[in-house]
């Protein structure tokens, strides 16, 4: 893999201790590449950053309306959530609406990331359920599509109608043919795309009327607006997606994915951003997306959220500031 440019720096005292290299593509809805760092044609696994694409069949098929899904449900379908009560209660209600339960999910269980929820579970002597999985909202979405289509229970099979619909939507919105996929942490297939393709898709979510037609334009608008309206459902307290969307409050949507992917949907600017840090470090992807949001006028450079992710001191065990994590100058030049 060719070396990408440095997008984030970790300083300790006078020493540049660590760096995070990565690639970025910023596109318009017609696919025009506006800016790039590194190789915009690089094929990546978008991981959870593409959940709004994976949710398109949910809305477009009519399944969301048939089962009375609200903006909250749609935000949760696009979420990598903390497993706090606001997330798991909604997921449980959703499953009940479908006449299904935790055992119908195929995402697997893991302890909730939310500290209070994790402790409460432990204090009750209970094991985590699949609804605690950070991807349970996406899987509720898959199950809703499946209920609508009448497919078999193994909805994460790459050849299942639900995943074939996701694959088709991915190819259409990214304007490219998927040539590879991998199984994600939650067992769903994750379709590989180029950064440029993913950024184009995000630009189309930013300007659905320019990038899409008819039902797709309406579905993209609903999903994007649901995420922007409910940042607390898309991730949770203390998480970058939630903090950045709250700080912007201008319809801009950001979404992270494992191994340091981040996307941005910028309605005012009509731009889509897709970035991947080569080494998979979240601290690097958070710094880079915050810097790019400032660069394009979506986020205030003086906001605490910017400083928290793109320009923050590193304290040691006695709260002495000994270092600094910051986005690379190249993202501001």
Chain residues that interact with a second copy, rule: CB under 8 A: 1, 3, 6, 10, 12-21, 43-45, 106-110, 133, 180-187, 190, 192, 259-260, 277-281, 284, 316-320, 322-323
Give the span between the Cα atoms of 167 and 183, in whole angstroms.
Answer: 13
Give yes or no for a contact between 58 and 75, defined as CB atoms under 8 angstroms apart: no
Nearer to a second copy, 133 or 144 (CB): 133
- CA dist list (Å): 195 to 58, 98, 184, 198, 207: 24, 35, 18, 5, 18
Least distance between a second copy and beta carbon 161 (Å): 21
Least distance between a second copy and beta carbon 101 (Å): 17
Give yes or no for a contact between 259 and 103, defined as CB atoms under 8 angstroms apart: no
Nearer to a second copy, 161 or 280 (CB): 280
Beta-carbon contacts of 189 under 8 Å, excluding residues fewer than 6 positions away, are 156, 158, 163, 166, 167, 181, 182, 183
Look at residue 112 and give its three-state secondary structure: coil
Least distance between a second copy and beta carbon 82 (Å): 15
Least distance between a second copy and beta carbon 119 (Å): 10
Least distance between a second copy and beta carbon 108 (Å): 3
- CA dist list (Å): 1 to 21, 38, 77, 279: 12, 11, 33, 11
Nearer to a second copy, 14 or 99 (CB): 14
Give yes or no for a contact between 275 and 202, defined as CB atoms under 8 angstroms apart: no
Nearer to a second copy, 34 or 314 (CB): 314
Give the span between the Cα atoms of 268 and 24, in whole angstroms.
Answer: 20
The DSSP bridge partners found for residue 262 are 256, 275
Nearer to a second copy, 169 or 186 (CB): 186
Closest CA to 51 of 140, 129, 132: 140
Give yes or no for a contact between 120 and 146, defined as CB atoms under 8 angstroms apart: no
Nearer to a second copy, 186 or 305 (CB): 186
Least distance between a second copy and beta carbon 317 (Å): 3
The DSSP bridge partners found for residue 26 are 35, 273
Least distance between a second copy and beta carbon 14 (Å): 5
Nearer to a second copy, 44 or 331 (CB): 44
- DSSP line for 271-291: EEEEEEETT--HHHHHHHHHH
| Residue 307 CB neighbours (<10 A) | 14
Give yes or no for a contact between 260 and 285, defined as CB atoms under 8 angstroms apart: yes
Least distance between a second copy and beta carbon 64 (Å): 25
**280, two tokens:** 């998979």
Nearer to a second copy, 250 or 316 (CB): 316
């Amino acid at each position: 893999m060719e070396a990408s440019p440095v997008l984030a720096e970790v300083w300790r005292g006078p020493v540049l201790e660590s760096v995070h290299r990565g690639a970025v593509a910023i596109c318009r809805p017609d696919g025009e590449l506006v800016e790039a760092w590194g190789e915009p044609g690089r094929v990546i696994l978008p991981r959870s950053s593409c959940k709004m694409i994976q949710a398109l069949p949910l809305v477009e098929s009519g399944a969301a309306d048939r089962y009375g899904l609200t903006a909250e449900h749609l935000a949760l379908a696009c979420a990598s959530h903390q497993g706090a009560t606001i997330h798991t209660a909604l997921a449980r209600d959703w499953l009940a609406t479908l006449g299904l339960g935790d055992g119908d999910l195929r995402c697997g269980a893991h302890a909730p990331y939310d500290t209070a929820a994790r402790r409460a579970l432990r204090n009750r002597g209970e094991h985590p359920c699949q609804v605690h999985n950070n991807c349970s909202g996406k899987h509720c979405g898959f199950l809703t599509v499946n209920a609508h289509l009448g497919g078999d229970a193994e909805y994460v099979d790459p050849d299942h109608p639900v995943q074939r619909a996701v694959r088709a939507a991915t190819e259409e919105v990214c304007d490219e043919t998927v040539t590879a996929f991998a199984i994600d942490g939650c067992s769903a297939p994750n379709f590989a795309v180029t950064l440029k393709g993913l950024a184009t898709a995000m630009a189309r979510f930013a300007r659905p009327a320019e990038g899409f037609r008819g039902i797709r334009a309406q579905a993209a608008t609903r999903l994007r607006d649901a995420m922007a309206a409910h940042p607390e459902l898309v991730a949770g307290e203390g998480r970058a997606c939630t903090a950045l969307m709250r700080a912007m409050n201008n319809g801009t949507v950001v979404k992270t994915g494992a191994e340091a992917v981040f996307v941005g949907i910028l309605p005012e600017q009509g731009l889509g951003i897709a970035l991947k840090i080569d080494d998979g470090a979240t601290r690097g992807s958070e710094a880079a997306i915050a810097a790019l949001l400032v660069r394009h006028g979506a986020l205030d450079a003086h906001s605490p959220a910017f400083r928290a992710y793109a320009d923050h001191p590193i304290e040691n065990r006695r709260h002495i500031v000994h270092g600094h994590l910051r986005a690379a100058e190249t993202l501001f030049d």
